With several copies, the nearest count.
Chain A
């Protein structure tokens, strides 16, 4: 065991914690209308509570526990943290306590379903949300984490590379978000009234905290305070910088002014795209990855969404789905053994890494999409996914949470 590595993964865990609350909560919360902000904060907060419990009780075991044989799912041997103690687990991280690896991964399991909130914001019933989230994490996230990261997982065995969760976290949540928002339908008056972000400073605060926490997400995934962490840290930072700037420049060219919402959105897209790649590519190529993700996500959000007319309220698919797919492919293009000997060479470095990446990008969305469709149908039949029209008009804060975010007269 190594205290420096342990310190780094512990603090990285804290950083990833901060990505969901307050990071994502405020990033999303600022974008909705005043009457729905608490519903967003509550969803993020309660995901933190519920999924953390799910994780220690059985989720971690399903994801990282001893493979049940076919590379599909882990066994329940580690349920309730049995055998998960102070000693390192050499399969995952040889220099830190096993418990530290477990809790670091817990934060990934929490943020993934939280990302989906952006798609169905302002119209989902809280009870349905809670049930859906628990089922989705168990039946979509846990298996996917096992496939890609678990010992014996089939995508891992295939040689698929996903440093910090491009597939596991972003593609899975982004694609599920798309399916959900299509099934759920648009918000009332969508496109008739303008839906303005009620508090953009909150969104910038949340965006900055996402960037802040993402250093733990990506560089923490090196599971030690070493050269690999350094590379992941640097590539993360400059891919993000490049993407934030690019988005602002696109807006400037298209609409005459760069917005801070655009720069922030671009930065988040950059963070998403570099996530699978950060431990495999060099910093200069990270810049390309960042520039291109801004272009792709801008197109998805400003052009494709407008054309197709689905109501992905806060662009969970447009940013995380599209960004995650691009990042996973980019890993197949730009990965270098020179950066990470445990990695592989991508297309541009004469290697064959593109193929496993494409397989992951083909299979994961299919799996996530179909499962989400099934879960939606089940929960909708059981509880009903959407709030009544009247509640949507009054706002979810008062109708789902029985509280109001701000006082008006004082």
Chain B
């Protein structure tokens, strides 16, 4: 099993969710984060004091636990739906997932994940 963490542009969220569903990956956890990447921040001005927005930009983070077979479809679905071709499109990180438990039933492993 793998634990996929993807950071994407916020306005791409709906498309990515749709794309994941299309490859039978409906289950996902979403949150808002700030990211510092290669993308430039926009300048902000407060009472005449201008400052680089620290280049911390809003991103959306997806966390998806999947069985091995679904890793590549997930990656493909995300890259295709999240890409704009501009700097700031984001990254996907894949970690090993040792165990999964469904709280409701206490099922474990591959069965619990879906």
Physical contact A–B (CB less than 8 Å): yes
Q: Mark B58-101, 1 if CB is under 8 A from A, else 0.
A: 10100000000000000000000000000000000000000000
Per-residue CB contact flags for chain B residues 38-76 toward chain A (1 = under 8 Å, else 0) read 000011111111110110101010000000000000000
B31 proximal to A (CB < 8 A)? yes
| B41 shortest CB reach to chain A, Å | 9
A409 adjacent to B46 (CB under 8 Å):
no
- The 8 Å CB contact of A403, one of B10, B11, B44, B56, is B44
* Residue A122 lies at the interface, judged by CB distance under 8 Å to chain B: no
Q: Quick check: is B14 within 8 A (CB to CB) of the other chain?
A: yes
Known A402-B42, A408-B34; judge A193-B11 contact (CB<8 A): yes
In the bound complex, do residue B44 and residue A409 qualify as a contact, i.e. CB atoms below 8 Å apart? no
Contact with B along A219-259 (1 / 0, CB 8 A): 00000000000000000000000000000001100111101
Which of A42-50, A177-185, A391-399 faces chain B? A391-399
List of B residues within 8 angstroms of A188 by Cβ: 11
Q: Is the CB–CB distance between B50 and A259 below 8 Å?
A: no
What is the bound-complex CA distance between A403 and B60, given in angstroms? 21
Q: Complex: how many Å from CA A262 to CA B58?
A: 24
Q: How large is the interface on B (under 10, 10 to 19, 20 to 34, 35 or more residues)?
A: 20 to 34
Q: Does A306 make an interface contact (CB < 8 A)?
A: yes
Determine whether A61 belongs to the interface, using a CB cutoff of 8 Å to chain B.
no
Q: Which of B10, B44, B54 contacts A410 (CB 8 A)?
A: B10
Whether, in the assembled complex, A209 has its beta carbon less than 8 Å from a beta carbon of chain B, the answer is no
Are the CB atoms of B47 and A398 closer together than 8 Å?
no
Q: List 29 A-B contacts (CB under 8 A).
A: A192-B14, A193-B13, A194-B51, A194-B54, A196-B46, A197-B46, A250-B48, A255-B50, A259-B46, A301-B48, A302-B47, A302-B48, A302-B49, A303-B48, A306-B49, A315-B47, A393-B9, A398-B44, A398-B53, A399-B42, A402-B44, A402-B45, A403-B46, A408-B34, A409-B13, A409-B32, A409-B34, A409-B60, A410-B58
